[in-house]
């Protein structure tokens, strides 16, 4: 169950053939998820879709109706496969037009003669777009209604998110605690299920690992309720102690790899 | 556009709160995508969803109707949050039951007394499941109709995929060529758009990079048609040469980092 469902709910649309072909490893989802936790917004779903106009339009319209916030990454550069902005305009039923403010930013950034037709695409947006600063390479992202349009290049996406996050109306930040142990998941499962039943406001997750011959488990507890979170974490520690295991604070790392 | 759409189309459902919380970086999508390319199946969409039963059931039913193949990762372990198999059974409207063959595998694997109730969950599946071998930790994955259910731990997921891939009826493998260049994306965009127009069977992608002060671009061409692929790649090389740049075969790496 998703225990942070009282917070505003967001979805992410990762747009790009390069992700679905396996060429590019997405890292934007994990970054966005962690940042949204901090401002009290829950990432409830993500979709990875190709550079196909109808698919982009339909996905944007489905998710913007369903979630408080929609974030998109990818497809706002200068090339023929950068079609996100045209699709956002179609999704909202508004004109796809040169944004005067974005145009001015690009004019100021590029040397005379370098702002060619291809680069001008980066200033074409859905009418009504509210720009979001790009501190890395200048061509801006934007917000339209509850949809936040960002670049796919991680460094630029991160810069844009930091520029836009004050626009989000979040709830309570989600905190997490992790306890690692050299105990197989199957041995800790029963006790863990009881902890989950007892602490309804805490999301209790169990993630096995296999490292250097050790078959162990990282136990992750997440909640917007810090009191419940601490109590549930102590209950998990006690389960481990009762079976003779040592609860490690944080993700389990082999003693030999430790820096402390 | 997705130029491999004549091949069977697949979707991936990544199930797990740990991905949407940012705790775990998914790497299964990129692995699956690359492996599917080799057997002529196109990964057309991926969804990341939480451990919420209704969401899992609805997503499985939507995607199995829409795509030739559906793959799922995550949620088939021994703990309370491992609910994928119950949801698969609900999605198909069949019993969720102890699979005798899976039960025998677990009985053979665990020492006497170690196969507790939690671990027995790993043998409970949708009625009619056809097992897929897990060469790593034994508890099997399975196929039911066009849905392939795999573990979330990457090493196990990869082992299961290798055990099941002969079940897929693929088309023509997708090949790719990558040309890197120390040219900003905005300068190569116009020529690249012309290449895309000329070679309809080739998917031409452009991915900027910023590395050590170099603002460059990797150009990726993908197709099931090798003749078109080679011709389009040569056209890209010529665009770069015409602007005085050196086409690098493969992803661009700074000369100082090269091993050759």
Go through the domains of chain B in sequence order and give each one's CATH number: 9-167 (3.40.980.10), 175-257 (3.30.70.600)
Give the whole-number percent of chain B exceeding pLDDT 90. 90
pLDDT for residue B253: 66
Q: Report the residue from A114, A137, A189 with minimal CB separation from B118.
A: A189
Best A47, A75, A118, A152 member to test B by mutation, with max B CBs in 10 Å, is A118
Instruction: Name the more confident of A3 and B208.
Output: B208
Complex prediction ipTM: 0.94
Distance CA(A231)–CA(A216), nearest Å, equals 23
Q: Cβ of B205 and A78 within 8 Å?
A: no
Burial class (CB in 10 A: 0-12, 13-18, 19+), B151: buried
Q: Are A181 and A240 in contact (CB under 8 A)?
A: yes
Check pLDDT > 70 for residue B5: no
Q: Is A94 on the interface with B (CB under 8 A)?
A: no
Cβ neighbors of B140 (< 8 A, separation 6 or more) are B102, B105, B131, B132, B133, B134, B160
Beta strands in chain B (DSSP E): 9-15, 42-49, 69-73, 96-98, 124-126, 130-134, 138-144, 147-150, 175-181, 203-211, 214-223, 248-249
pLDDT for residue A5: 59
- Find the residue in B nearest to A196 (Cα): B80
pLDDT for residue B252: 79
Q: Is B1 on the interface with A (CB under 8 A)?
A: yes
For B132-167, how does the pLDDT look when each residue is reduced to its tens digit (9 = 90+)?
Answer: 999 999 999 999 999 999 999 999 999 999 999 999
Q: Is B76 on the interface with A (CB under 8 A)?
A: no
Q: Cβ of A20 and B27 within 8 Å?
A: no
B-chain CB neighbours of A224 within 8 Å are none
pLDDT for residue B209: 86
For B165-203, how does the pLDDT look when each residue is reduced to its tens digit (9 = 90+)?
Answer: 999 999 999 999 999 999 999 999 999 999 999 999 999
Check pLDDT > 60 for residue B260: no
For the record, the structure tokens of B201 come out as 């069977």
Report residue B258's pLDDT band, with 50, 70 and 90 as the boundaries. Answer: very low
Closest by Cα among B51, B52, B59, B60 to B19:
B51
Check pLDDT > 60 for residue B4: no
pLDDT for residue A253: 66
pLDDT for residue A260: 38
DSSP string, chain A: --TTTTS-EEEEEEE-HHHHTTSS---HHHHHHHHHHHTT-EEEEEEEE-S-HHHHHHHHHHHHHHSSEEEEES--SSSTT--HHHHHHHHHT--EEE-HHHHHHHHHHSPTTT--HHHHGGGEEETTPEEEEETTTEEEEEEETTEEEE-SSHHHHHHHHHHHGGG----SPPEEEEEEESS-HHHHHHHHHHHHHH-TTSEEEEEEEEETTEEEEEEEEEES-HHHHHHHHHHHHHHHHHTTPPPEEBS---GGG---
The reported pTM is: 0.94
Q: Is A96 on the interface with B (CB under 8 A)?
A: no
Best A34, A50, A175 member to test B by mutation, with max B CBs in 10 Å, is A50
Residues of chain A with pLDDT under 50: 1-2, 257-260
A-chain CB neighbours of B18 within 8 Å are 205, 207, 220
Residues 35-74 of A with CB under 8 A from B: 35, 37, 43-52, 55
- Which long-range CB contacts under 8 A does B129-132 form with residues at least 24 apart? B129/B99, B129/B102, B131/B99, B131/B101, B131/B102, B131/B105, B132/B160, B132/B163, B132/B164, B132/B167
C-beta atoms surrounding A101 within 10 Å: 13
Q: Cβ of B46 and A50 within 8 Å?
A: no
Count of residues for chain A? 260
Report residue B255's pLDDT band, with 50, 70 and 90 as the boundaries. Answer: low
B-chain CB neighbours of A185 within 8 Å are 77-79
Q: Cβ of B185 and A78 within 8 Å?
A: yes
């Amino acid at each position: 169950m998703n225990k942070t469902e009282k917070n505003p709910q967001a979805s992410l649309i990762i747009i790009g053939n390069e992700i679905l072909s396996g060429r590019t490893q997405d890292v934007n989802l994990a970054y966005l998820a962690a940042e949204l936790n901090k401002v009290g917004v829950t990432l409830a779903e993500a979709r990875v879709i190709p550079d196909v106009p109808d698919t982009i339009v339909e996905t944007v319209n489905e998710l913007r109706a369903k979630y408080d916030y929609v974030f998109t990454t990818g497809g706002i550069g200068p090339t023929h496969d950068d079609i996100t902005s045209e699709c956002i305009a179609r999704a909202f039923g508004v004109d796809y037009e040169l944004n005067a403010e974005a145009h001015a930013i690009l004019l100021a950034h590029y040397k005379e003669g370098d702002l060619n037709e291809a680069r001008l695409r980066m200033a074409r947006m859905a009418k009504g777009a509210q720009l979001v600063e790009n501190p890395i390479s200048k061509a801006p992202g934007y917000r339209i209604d509850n949809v936040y349009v960002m670049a796919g290049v991680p460094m630029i996406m991160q810069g844009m998110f930091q520029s836009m996050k004050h626009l989000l109306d979040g709830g309570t930040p989600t905190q997490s605690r992790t306890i690692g142990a050299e105990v197989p998941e199957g041995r800790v499962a029963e006790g863990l299920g009881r902890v989950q039943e007892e602490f309804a406001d805490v999301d209790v997750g169990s993630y096995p690992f296999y490292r250097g011959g050790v078959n162990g488990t990282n136990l992750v507890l997440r909640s917007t309720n810090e009191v419940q979170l601490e109590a549930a974490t102590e209950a998990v520690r006690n389960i481990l102690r009762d079976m003779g295991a040592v609860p490690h604070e944080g993700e389990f790392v082999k003693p030999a790899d430790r820096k402390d």
